[in-house]
Amino acid sequence: MVVMLSTLLMLFPLFEDNPYTLGVTNLIAINTIVVLGLNLFIGYAGQISLGHAAFFGLGAYGSAITTGTYGLPPWPAMLLVAMAVGCIALFVGIPVLRLSGHYLAMATLGFNFVVHSVLLEWDTLTGGPSGFSGIPYLAFGDFSFDDEVRLHYLLWSFTMICLLLCLNLVRSGVGRGLSALAEDETAAAALGVNTRLAKIKIFVLSAVMASLAGSLFAHCYSFISPDSFGIFTSTDMVIMVVIGGMGSIWGSLFGAGLITLLPEWIGVFENYKDFVHGGILVLVLMFLPQGLISGLKDMVTVRLALHKQKGKQKDAAT
């Protein structure tokens, strides 16, 4: 499946070279990286975070400042920033992950609010409301990723690597332990899973993936502003996870794609985007709580089973 998707993505620019369309699909790639990490935390560890846009923003501004202000090469900057964001996530996660449910959600939301306020107010470093410009493009020697086609291959390469990482993780013993944690934390602990350590590890991993996405976002667009990393962005990320299906790695790709494309499809409702997203979230939770992909798959399976059963009953009657 991964090979098939990778092949399609490699061929996509040959059939669709519109810079605007490629720009949208490139944004889907960036959002998918964030959502994959967040789905590990929400869908597999069974926790809730309403503040992942904070790590997304820290990655973006970290790379922007280290390269644009201090002149560090982009690739080493991305690595150093990811390590720093991982340390911040560890520092935040140790006390915060003692909480659960609504308390954890509120704590992560508060962290997002603090980070967003710092990005907004510390204008001497971040540029404040005016944003940060002049961020260098990623490059290998003289080959610069400065157009949409080149960015397509770069971003989707990173996305496929993250997808493979997540698929292998959830199939491993660690993934099975996380699944047990999501089902019942007490039972998982009884089976020998170090639940507290597992939650912290997956929280740090999801933050590092968000930081990577943020760095790519900054270097691809060469301009960032605090508005891209606010509370509503965190909410959209959670909506992507829920719509794609909590605990569904492939669903993360679908959820990120749908919510990213939605404003393009319903441009007339652009000013009401948050209300539309909220309405979709409510409908999915009411009628397809396992997510659109898993929900539709289950509906088809049930209908096929019922049709098969009716066929057997008809044969028996004759």
pLDDT band for position 137 (50/70/90)? very high
Enter the tokens of residue 149. 């086609």
In the chain, the DSSP E strands lie at 132-133, 139-140, 143-144, 223-224
CB within 8 A of 315, min separation 6: which ones?
none
- Contact criterion met (CB below 8 Å) for 244 and 292: yes
Q: Of 82, 31, 39, whose CA–CA distance to 58 is shortest?
A: 82
Q: Which long-range contacts (CB under 8 A, 24 or more apart) does 272-277 make?
A: 274/232, 274/235, 277/235, 277/236, 277/239
pLDDT value of residue 42: 87
Residues facing residue 133 across a β-bridge: 223
What would the mean pLDDT of 20-29 be, rounded to a whole number? 92
What would the mean pLDDT of 223-236 be, rounded to a whole number? 90
Where is average pLDDT lowest: 45-49, 243-247, 252-256, 272-276?
272-276
> What is the full DSSP assignment across 144-180?
E--SHHHHHHHHHHHHHHHHHHHHHHHHSHHHHHHHH
Looking up tokens 């098939």 gives: 4
pLDDT value of residue 286: 65
Where is average pLDDT lowest: 3-7, 23-27, 115-119, 274-278?
274-278
What pLDDT, in 10s, does the model give residues 142-173?
Answer: 889 988 999 999 999 999 999 999 999 888 87
45: which DSSP letter? S
96 has pLDDT over 70: yes
Average pLDDT, the chain: 85
Structural domains of the chain in order of their starting residue, each with its CATH number: 2-268 (1.10.3470)
pLDDT band for position 45 (50/70/90)? confident
pLDDT value of residue 53: 93
- Contact criterion met (CB below 8 Å) for 288 and 246: no
What pLDDT, in 10s, does the model give residues 182-218?
Answer: 777 777 777 777 888 888 999 999 999 999 999 999 9
